[in-house]
Chain A
Amino acid sequence: MSPNELSSYLIIGAILFALGLFTVLTRRNAISVLMGVELILNSANINYVAFSHFGSGNTDGQVYAIFVIMLAAAEAAVGLAIVLAIFQLFHTIDVEAAQTLKE
């Protein structure tokens, strides 16, 4: 592990991905599931930027990282609006409670 090695960044990305996947798999709270998705997107971004820095040497990977950040913002806005709509309808945000499309 050192700041000048590709593998140290990839390992941090792998750990973040695993923790995000764990959050998505186990949480029953819809907002926590969205937090796990954000962790997974961040781990993917670390890999993009690390490969762009150590592997290719050009900035294409950073452009992809910015697209991912942009999509994460859109996903958070729509996802949290859906969560609030579910909360208004069912008065809970437990993902197992929202099983029907209507009341």
Chain B
Amino acid sequence: MNVATAVFYLIAFITVVSAAMVAFSRNIIYSAFSLLGTFMGVAGLYVFLGADFVAAAQVLIYVGGILVLILFAVMLTHRITDVAVTNRAAGTVPALIVVGVLVFFLIQAIQETAWVKAKEIVYAPTTAKIGDLFLEQYLLPFELASLILLAAMIGAVALSRKEIKE
């Protein structure tokens, strides 16, 4: 077992264990901070997959943006000085059964399917290729994305402002 394989196992372990903490932790603060491990682990997996730009975007947007937003929302909606910041769950046993059966069949399908393989696996910088694709083949979705971000910004401001009652 060489170093790369060991690092891969470590990253996969961190990703899955943090995701399990998000799913099973009784304290929502622990859940929110475990999400950090999952996002960083997924960024590490992107590095293993030769996707440098996506890994950087994952760290910048998920860890730097979405996680901070979630932490703000947690702290604005809970009194974090309380000891028991609960994170209640309902119907755990049926959900566990459904999810367990689902993951069993998913893993079986993954292992039994003969996936199409690329002729050769290349590790090359992807940023220039992604930029070309955005401005040529995916120009319309790219422009729509800017519209969606504008709509989301206006929507978030409109939703979270305080309404003055007369």
Q: Which residues of A contact B (CB under 8 A)?
A: 1-4, 6-12, 14-23, 25-29, 31-32, 34-36, 38-39, 42, 45-46, 49-50, 52-60, 62-63, 65-67, 69-78, 80-85, 87-88, 93-94
The reply to whether B19 and A76 form a contact with Cβ atoms under 8 Å apart is: no
Interface of A is mostly: helix
B16 in the interface (beta carbon within 8 A): yes
The reply to whether B99 and A69 form a contact with Cβ atoms under 8 Å apart is: no
Q: Interface residues of B toward A: which range?
A: 35 or more
The reply to whether B130 and A72 form a contact with Cβ atoms under 8 Å apart is: no
B84 in the interface (beta carbon within 8 A): no
Interface of B is mostly: helix
The reply to whether A36 and B23 form a contact with Cβ atoms under 8 Å apart is: yes
Docked Cα-Cα span, A22 to B89, in Å, equals 10
B149 in the interface (beta carbon within 8 A): yes
Q: Which of B8, B38, B92, B99 contacts A2 (CB 8 A)?
A: B8
Docked Cα-Cα span, A52 to B88, in Å, equals 38
From B32, B73, B119, name the one whose CB has the most chain A CB atoms within 10 angstroms. Answer: B73
B83 in the interface (beta carbon within 8 A): no
From A31, A58, A84, A93, name the one whose CB has the most chain B CB atoms within 10 angstroms. Answer: A31
The answer to whether A25 and B91 touch (CB under 8 A), given A19-B22, A65-B54, A67-B141, is yes
Docked Cα-Cα span, A95 to B50, in Å, equals 40
Residues of A within 8 A of B61 (CB): 69-70, 72-73
| Closest B residue by C-beta to A50 | B49
Give A58 Cβ to nearest chain B Cβ, in Å: 8
Docked Cα-Cα span, A38 to B18, in Å, equals 13
Docked Cα-Cα span, A32 to B100, in Å, equals 20
The reply to whether B66 and A38 form a contact with Cβ atoms under 8 Å apart is: yes
Give A51 Cβ to nearest chain B Cβ, in Å: 8
The reply to whether A11 and B91 form a contact with Cβ atoms under 8 Å apart is: no
Residues of B within 8 A of A49 (CB): 45-46, 49, 51, 54
The reply to whether B69 and A77 form a contact with Cβ atoms under 8 Å apart is: yes
Docked Cα-Cα span, A16 to B34, in Å, equals 13
The reply to whether A14 and B103 form a contact with Cβ atoms under 8 Å apart is: yes
The reply to whether A76 and B66 form a contact with Cβ atoms under 8 Å apart is: yes
| Closest A residue by C-beta to B155 | A78
B120 in the interface (beta carbon within 8 A): yes
